[in-house]
Amino acid sequence: MRGLFRPAALWTATAVAAALLAVPSTPAFADTLLSQGKTATASSSENAGTPASAAVDGNAGTRWSSAATDAQWLQVDLGASTSVNKVVLNWEAAYASGYKVQLSTNGTTWTDLKTVTGGDGGIDTWDVTGTGRYVRMQGVTRATGYGYSLWEFQVFGPDGGSNPGEACGTTNAALNKTSSASSIQGAGLPASAAFDGDNGTRWASLAADPQWVQVDLGSAQTLCKIDLRWEAAYASAFKLQGSTNGTTWTDLKTVTGSTGGVQSHDVTGSARYVRMLGSARGTGYGYSLWEFAVYTTSDDPGPEIPGGGPLGPNVHVFDPSMSSATIQSQLDAVFTQQESAQFGTGRHAFLFKPGTYNVNAKVGFYTSIIGLGQNPDDVTLNGVTVDAGWFNGNATQNFWRSTENLSVQPPGGTNQWAVSQAAPFRRMHIKGALNLAPTGYGWASGGYIADSKIDGAVGPYSQQQWYTRDSSVGGWVNGVWNMVFSGVQGAPATNFLDQSYTTLENTPISREKPYLYVDGGGAYRVFVPALRTNARGVSWANGSTPGTSLPLGQFFVAKPGDSAATINAALGQGLHLLLTPGIYHLSQPINVTRANTVVLGLGLATIIPGGGSTAVKVADVDGVKLAGFLVDAGTQKSDVLIEVGPAGSSADHAANPTTLQDVFVRIGGAFAGNATTSVVVNSDDVIIDHTWLWRGDHGEGIGWNVNTAETGLIVNGDDVLATGLFVEHYRKYDVEWYGERGRTIFFQNEKAYDPPNQAAYMNGTSKGWAAYKVGPAVNTHEGWGLGSYVYFNVDPTIEVENGFEAPVKPGVKFHSLLTVSLGGNGRINHVINGVGGPAFGTATIPSKLVSYP
3-state secondary structure of 406: strand
**695: closest CA among 679, 681, 712?**
712
For the beta carbon of residue 765, count every other beta carbon within 10 angstroms. 6
The distance from CA 583 to its chain's CA centroid, rounded to whole angstroms, is 19
- Alpha carbon distances (Å) from 370 to 360, 537, 756: 13, 21, 43
152: annotated active-site residue: no
Whether the CB-CB separation of 786 and 806 falls below 8 Å is answered with: no
For the beta carbon of residue 233, count every other beta carbon within 10 angstroms. 20
- Alpha carbon distances (Å) from 289 to 46, 184, 262, 276: 36, 11, 10, 10
**267: closest CA among 296, 298, 238?**
296
**718: closest CA among 668, 672, 650?**
650
What residues have CB less than 8 Å from 30, skipping those under 6 apart?
Answer: 158, 159, 162, 166, 167, 168
The H or E element spanning position 566 is helix 564-572
Pairwise CA distance, residues 609 & 698, whole Å: 21
**539: closest CA among 530, 526, 548?**
530
Strands 355-356 and 379-381: parallel
Whether the CB-CB separation of 677 and 710 falls below 8 Å is answered with: yes
Whether the CB-CB separation of 335 and 362 falls below 8 Å is answered with: yes
**272: closest CA among 242, 252, 298, 250?**
242
Whether the CB-CB separation of 669 and 704 falls below 8 Å is answered with: no
680 Rama sector, left if φ>0, alpha if ψ -120 to 50, beta otherwise: beta
Q: Buried b vs exposed e over 538-562: b needs ≥16 C-beta within 10 Å? A: bbbeeeebebeebebeebbbbbbeb
For the beta carbon of residue 330, count every other beta carbon within 10 angstroms. 16
Pairwise CA distance, residues 755 & 730, whole Å: 10
For 781-839, give the DSSP string. Answer: EEEEEEEEEE--SS-TT-EEEEEEE----TTEEEEEEEEEEGGGSSEEEEEETTBS--B
> Which residue type sits at 83?
S
Pairwise CA distance, residues 283 & 244, whole Å: 32
Label residue 319 exposed, middle or buried (CB < 10 Å: 0-12, 13-18, 19+). middle
**697: closest CA among 674, 727, 673, 728?**
728
Q: Which of 46, 404, 736, 750 is catalytic?
A: 750
Torsion of CA 395, 401, 406, 409, to 10 degrees: -30
**How many Å is the Cα radius of gyration of the chain?**
28
**802: closest CA among 841, 760, 833, 759?**
833
Pairwise CA distance, residues 638 & 240, whole Å: 30
3-state secondary structure of 281: strand
3-state secondary structure of 194: helix
Label residue 284 exposed, middle or buried (CB < 10 Å: 0-12, 13-18, 19+). exposed
Catalytic positions: 750
